[in-house]
Chains A and B, each alone.
Chain A
């Protein structure tokens, strides 16, 4: 985790390619939470992807090209906030390896050092306090593997949900286990991925939760798609969207 700065005046926001196209309301909710806390949010023009899909598929040259284009979006020494633990983890933990020996290695390492997953930034830097204005609701939280192990920001998500008085946070069986998304893994090993997602869906359904919340839209796309196919009406929602909805 980066050194916690004092509350900065402005931050860069990296919306991620998945959120850009498929879950823009989740991305926007994160920006609105930051703006409401008095932060100027810069959404750099020209951002696309962190390079992770190619990096995890072995195509490191292609990953580097895409990562480099994103790196150019964050020239100023201000935090980069990402509403995805997976993409934040890519910048923070894997960019230094990806850029090793490259002319822009120092810049990549610098950005890695000032990258924050959104929940982590809201809790550790902004000490965000939320007031729950919503009706009572039962939710369960799916920690992405990236939130657990790449950014280590699973606790911050629990902290944020814990502030909401009318939200009952339910556990589910094998909560620590991967949902089977894994980016290109879902394409290369579709049956395996589906079996993992199915186990996760069964556990979530058994939890009696009305909504499934996560810090990563990849997991939500995977689980939401399967819950829908299974005829379940459990709503999947990114944590930023949920927090904004409850507190405005």
Chain B
């Protein structure tokens, strides 16, 4: 599933694998059309939520400050969060990496005698490849978010962090349902398809031994887990089964309950263009004796998986402000062409190109920073003002510049290729040596007829650029412009 983890020995940075995936993606017109339509729609919805640029600027600044404070005060906030959650009766578990997180979850399920799990949508569970770990242990896992359920049937990873099945259109979904649920009537009608899924999933909800969900924000002040969703599946997954296990990254903590409204607004408006999601779940404790429903036990698994290390980097630490809204992805001109699977990583698009090389190391995923024209659209829409283009640029620098081995970014300097390094040195020499540069301009203009018609990949798609008959310096001198 995670192609970037393969073949790094022969393909440092994963460039070759990335090029292959991009080539494949560009050869699928229907899927590209699905992405184009979906992104156009979602961009329009977001824009409609932010008619006033000054209001948006203020909201972004507030959301930025709240999230930055979370990172600045992370150790204290996590301690406070654990204390409050424990007081509320929610058990907290700490996982260094994916293997530990999966082991903790598996142990909780075993102890409870759970054989079937219903899941709400969770990108962290994708990050740790939880479903595979549970299935290997003989536990039945059913995704209850409609998009996640669709890709679970198709055995595909999500192509988007908010809308995991966005690459599929209704006909694709209809075919999947026909294959896996022949007992249900065939339909391409979206409402009927949703009805069919609901019918299948209701039974799973009712019979599941445990529910697993993600977390959007964990409030330290009150020990509250906030989870937003639109289908009610999150609420069912976290209330119907007797055991609820939430899993999230340690960076999701926020200090105060008052921080929640601006963050929720920034999140839902940026993500789907909704003023608020249909369901906002605030989970504070397991079921009490006088309560009619809710799980008997609630656990929170807090995953590090490189986040503490990323936090140590003076510039790249900004990555951790992310609230996973996907606005950067929705506005990315690269993503709209190739879609999420082309990235070959759990998190696609601009945030993925920044996060994954840090999480997995430059040797495995450094090439992702090259899948960007630095157009700046992502940084412009990010609700927590992560300077994504600057971070992508910084990753490119880290990839080719050697530095201390204990740097917080694994693989620093490992993608420096001798040929490229020499080319840039020659470039510097030419562009800082006035005589050589003028000579180059003279020859290039005088010998323009000899300009090669083929210039590598450029001319595979375009005609070759041709030097002018005279350079600008010469024209300027001829026209009598001062030159000092």
Contacts and interface: CB of A to CB of B under 8 A. Distances in A.
Interface of A: 13, 15, 17, 19-25, 27-28, 31-32, 35, 40-46, 48-49, 53-62, 65-66, 68-69, 145, 148-150, 176-178, 180-183, 185-199, 221-222, 225-226, 228-229
B428 A62 contact: yes
B376 A148 contact: yes
Interface string B398-442: 111100000000000000000011001101100110100100010
Nearest to A97: B390
At the interface, is chain A mostly helix, strand, loop or mixed?
helix
A58 B371 contact: no
Given A48-B431, A149-B380, A178-B333, 13 more contacts: A20-B472, A21-B467, A28-B476, A41-B482, A43-B482, A54-B427, A56-B396, A58-B397, A149-B379, A180-B333, A189-B22, A191-B26, A197-B462
A55 B373 contact: no
Nearest to A86: B374
B400 A45 contact: no
Given A22-B468, A45-B483, A182 B374 contact: yes
B473 interface: yes
A41 B459 CA distance: 36
Contacts, number: 196
Contact of A66 (B428, B457, B458, B482): B428
A55 B445 CA distance: 27
Nearest to A26: B472
Nearest to B371: A189
A10 to B, nearest CB: 8
Interface residues of B, number: 64
A59 B424 contact: yes
A225 B464 contact: yes
A56 B393 contact: yes
At the interface, is chain B mostly helix, strand, loop or mixed?
helix
A150 B376 CA distance: 8
Interface of B: 19, 22-23, 26, 333-334, 336-338, 370-377, 379-380, 393, 396-401, 420-421, 424-425, 427-428, 431-432, 434, 437, 441, 444-445, 456-468, 470-476, 479, 481-484
A43 B373 contact: no
B309 to A, nearest CB: 21
Contacts of A186: 458
Given A59-B421, A149-B380, A54 B428 contact: yes
B390 to A, nearest CB: 8
| Most A CB within 10 A of own CB, among B427, B462, B468, B481 | B462
B460 A194 contact: yes
Contacts of B421: 59
A178 to B, nearest CB: 4
Contact of B437 (A25, A48, A193, A226): A48
A191 B338 CA distance: 11
| Most B CB within 10 A of own CB, among A180, A183, A190 | A190
Given A24-B471, A199-B337, A31 B466 contact: no
B377 A145 contact: yes
A237 to B, nearest CB: 14
Nearest to A149: B376
A21 B441 contact: yes
Contact of B467 (A22, A31, A69, A145): A22
B475 A178 contact: no
Nearest to B315: A97
Contacts of B337: 192, 195-196, 199
B431 A185 contact: no
